[in-house]
Amino acid sequence: MPTAGNMHIMFFNDRIDAAVLLAQKLARYKNKNPLILAIPRGAVPMAKVIADKLNGDLDVVLVSKLPAPMNPEFAIGAIAENGWTHIADWAADTGATPEYIEEQKKAQLEKMRQRRKQYTALLEPIDCRDRITIVVDDGLATGATMITALHSLRKMEPKELVVAVPVSSPTALAEVEKYADTVIFLLAPMFFRAVGQFYAEFPQVSDKEVMETLAAKRDKTQSERKE
C-alpha cells in the first residue's frame, strides 16, 4: 500500500488491491461457509475476490443511496429493496423536503427492482439465515447505505453480520458499528473527505461488469460442484 506525496496519505492502487488486503484481515472466516454480499456496483468486483479467497458464496445486497437535491454524490439516506429507509438527521438541511424524499424512494426502488431482475437471471439470491454474512463496500462516507443494508439483513437472522470496508470516515465507522456484530476495516483517517481519495484508480463499475462478475462466480461454483 503506497503513500501519496509528502502527506503520507495511504491509498490503494484500485478496488482489487483493496480487496486482497481486506481478505487477509478476514482470514478467520475462510472455509467457514461465509456468504459475501456486495453493495453494487463498486463493491461487486471486490466481493468476488474476497469470496474466492475465503471459499465463500457471492451475492449482492441491493441498497440505493438517496441523493441530496443539489449534490447527487452526497447521500441524505438510503433505501433497501424491501423498502426499509434510513434518513440522515441533516437531510432537511440540504433542502430535501418530505415530497422530494418520497420521489427519490420510488425512483430508487424501481431501479433496484430492475437490477434484481437482471442479477437473478445470473445468480439466484442466497439466504443468509444462520450463515456468517460479510457485507462489502469500497468505502464508507456517511454510512447510510451500509446501515440500511445491515438493518435489512438483520431481519434474515444471519449467524454473524460482518462489515468489511477498506476505508471509512471515523463518523461513519462509529455509526455502522452499532448495527454490525463485527467491523473489519483498513483505514479510518481523520482527514477523510471522500472514498475515492484513497484509491489511485477509482473508476465507475458498470452494470455490465457486475453481471460479468456474477456470471463468472456462478460458472466457477458450478464447475467446482462437478469435480
Handedness of CA 27, 44, 79, 195 (dihedral sign): positive
- Domain assignment present for residue 117? The answer is no
- Domain assignment present for residue 97? The answer is no
**pTM for this entry:** 0.89
Domain of 30: which CATH number?
Answer: 3.40.50.2020
Residues of the chain short of pLDDT 70, as ranges, are 1-10, 227
Q: Cα 138–140–142 angle (5° rounding)?
A: 150
Q: Which residue has the cell 431481519?
A: 155
Q: What share of the chain is helix, strand, coil (3-state, %, to 5)?
A: 45, 25, 35
Instruction: Please report the DSSP string for 123-184 in residue order.
Output: S-----TTSEEEEE-S-BSSSHHHHHHHHHHHTT--SEEEEEEEEB-HHHHHHHTTT-SEEE
DSSP strand E in the chain: where?
3-4, 9-10, 35-38, 57-60, 63-68, 71-80, 85-87, 132-136, 160-167, 182-187
- Domain assignment present for residue 147? The answer is yes
Q: Retrieve residue 72's grid coordinates.
A: 447527487
The DSSP secondary-structure symbol of 66 reads E
- Domain assignment present for residue 96? The answer is no
User: Taking Cα atoms as reference points, which of 170, 199, 195 lies closest to residue 183?
Assistant: 170
Residue 88, phi then psi, degrees to nearest 5: -70, 150
- Domain assignment present for residue 113? The answer is no
Helix (H, G, I), strand (E, B) or coil at 75: strand
- Domain assignment present for residue 164? The answer is yes
User: Taking Cα atoms as reference points, which of 209, 204, 164, 206 lies closest to residue 187?
Assistant: 164
Q: What is the pLDDT of residue 8?
A: 45
Residue 106: other Cβ atoms inside 10 A? 11
Number of domains in the chain: 1
Q: What is the pLDDT of residue 88?
A: 87
Q: Which residue has the cell 437535491?
A: 69
Domain that holds residue 197: 3-63+127-226
Q: What is the pLDDT of residue 219?
A: 83
Taking a C-beta distance cutoff of 8 angstroms, is the pair 159, 133 a contact?
A: yes
- Domain assignment present for residue 90? The answer is no
- Domain assignment present for residue 13? The answer is yes
